[in-house]
Structure 1
C-alpha cells in the first residue's frame, strides 16, 4: 500500500491534484495527519467529496477489518492539513476533523456509494461501520464565532496541554538547512490549534533568503546579532532585542551582512511556513549546524522550493 500511495501522491502533485490512476480524477486530497503514537507527520491520499466549504472522507481501508491509521490519527489529533485541488491548483489548507454520527452519517455515506458502489462492498467486507469524517477549514470568522458576546470567552479545550521546547539543549527538534541558514521548528499547527508557528532561525554571515512574498503575517524577534530586512525595496537593520513584522503579501527578504551569526525567532500566522521548509530543507543534526550542499544540490533544492511555494501560498520573486 505504501508504494501505491507514493505513486498516487507523486501523480497528484505532478498534475495539480488530478489523478487518473484508478479513476480518481480530481476527487482526491492528500491528508497530512499526526501519528497517534509517534506524533510524526503522515501523508495519505483519500477520496473526498465536497461538503460546503469543507470535504468529506470515508475511512474504508478497502474493507479492512480495522480503521486506517489516518482515521485513528485524526481522532487523536483532529487538527490536520490537507492538499486539495481548487481551480486547477493545489492549495494547502488547515482543517479540523469531525467524525459524523447520528442522522448525519447515512446521507453522507450514501454520497460515497453513489460515487462508487465499491463502498457498499467495503462495508460488507469490513463488518464495521466505515467512519465518515468532515474536514472543515479553519477561518478567522470561524474562530471569532467561537467567542461568546463581549464579557466572556469560550470554554477551554481540556484535551490541550502546554507545550515546552528547549532548543538550547534538545537536539531532537527538527533542524533544516534552508538557503545556507539553519531553521529549528519549535511550534507547529498541532501545538497552537492552527493559530501560528514558531521557528528558531540561525543565520550565519551572508545568510538569508532571496526576495519572496506570502499570504500570511511574519514576525522576526532578533535574539543575537543583527539582520537587514528589505521591504518594498527599502532596507532596515534590526538588531538584538528588536522586532519587525512583515505584512502578508508584501515583497521582502532578509540578509545577514555582518561578520557574526544572527539568531532570531520567526512567528508566522497562520502556520504553514514551517511545513514548507520541512518539505525541501536539508535535515541537520543540531541547531547551529551549517548546511553543506554542492552547487548542483543547492540548485536542485531551490528548484524544489520554487515548485512547492504555491502549495503554501509562497511566491519566490526575481532577484534582479
Structure 2
C-alpha cells in the first residue's frame, strides 16, 4: 500500500450517531462538544481497502494522542481498531488540521496510566469496560513526517 496525503477524506462511519458527530466536528472546526476533545481518524479498511473515517475522544500524552476502542462497551472491537491493527498508517484531523500518523495498541505496561487518562476524560469508559468481557484497547497515535 502506498502512503496517502494527510487530509485525504475517507468514507464516514455507517453508524448514524458517529456520522452525525463527524458532520458536527467538521462544521464546528473540531469543537462539537464543549469540554470534550474529539478527533477524526481515517484508517484503511482491512478487507475493502477503502479509507474509513470515524470520530473519537482523545487525550494528549506529550506529543501523542491517545484514543480507546470502547465501541460503547460492545463485545467486539470497533472496525476502525481492527483496521489500524492491520495497517497502522492513519490520518488524523484535529480542529480542521490533518496530518499523517502511525497508530499502535498500548503495551500492557503503558496501558494502566493511559487508560486512567481516558477514563478521567470520559468516565463512561469505566462502565463500558465493566460491561464487556473484552479488554478495551488503548491506542497511541504519533505524528509522522513533517511535525510543523
**Partners in 1 of 2:23 and 2:81 — Cα distance?**
22
**1:53 Cα deviation from its structure 2 partner:** 1.6
Equivalent residue for 2:131, pick from 125, 136, 142: 125
Instruction: Answer yes or no: is 1:8 the counterpart of 2:21.
Output: yes
1:163: which partner in 2? none
Q: What do the CA deviations read for 1:216-238 (whole angstroms, capped 9, x no partner)?
A: xxxxxxxxxxxxxxxxxxxxxxx
**1:61 Cα deviation from its structure 2 partner:** 0.3
**Partners in 2 of 1:118 and 1:110 — Cα distance?**
12
* Structure 1 unaligned blocks of 5 or more: 142-214, 216-320
Q: What SS does the aligned partner of 2:109 have?
A: helix
Equivalent residue for 2:122, pick from 103, 106, 116: 116
**1:139 Cα deviation from its structure 2 partner:** 2.7
Q: What do the CA deviations read for 1:163-220 (whole angstroms, capped 9, x no partner)?
A: xxxxxxxxxxxxxxxxxxxxxxxxxxxxxxxxxxxxxxxxxxxxxxxxxxxx9xxxxx
Q: What SS does the aligned partner of 2:131 have?
A: helix
Q: What SS does the aligned partner of 1:37 have?
A: coil
**1:82 Cα deviation from its structure 2 partner:** 0.9
1:184: which partner in 2? none
Q: What SS does the aligned partner of 1:83 have?
A: strand
Q: When the two structures are aligned, how many residues end up with a matched partner?
A: 135
Equivalent residue for 2:64, pick from 54, 57, 60: 54
Q: What SS does the aligned partner of 2:94 have?
A: strand
Q: In terms of Rg, which structure is larger?
A: 1
1:311: which partner in 2? none
Q: What SS does the aligned partner of 1:103 have?
A: coil
2:78: which partner in 1? 68
**1:18 Cα deviation from its structure 2 partner:** 0.4
2:109: which partner in 1? 103
**Partners in 2 of 1:125 and 1:26 — Cα distance?**
23
Q: What do the CA deviations read for 1:32-88 (whole angstroms, capped 9, x no partner)?
A: 010011110101001111121220000000100010000000000100001112xxx
CA contact (8 A) 1:36 1:76 kept: yes
Within-5 A mapping of 1:221-236: none
What TM-score, normalized to structure 2? Answer: 0.85
**Partners in 1 of 2:59 and 2:122 — Cα distance?**
12
What TM-score, normalized to structure 1? Answer: 0.40
Q: What SS does the aligned partner of 2:90 have?
A: strand
**1:116 Cα deviation from its structure 2 partner:** 2.4
Structure possessing the higher relative contact order (Cα contacts under 8 Å, 6 or more residues apart): 2
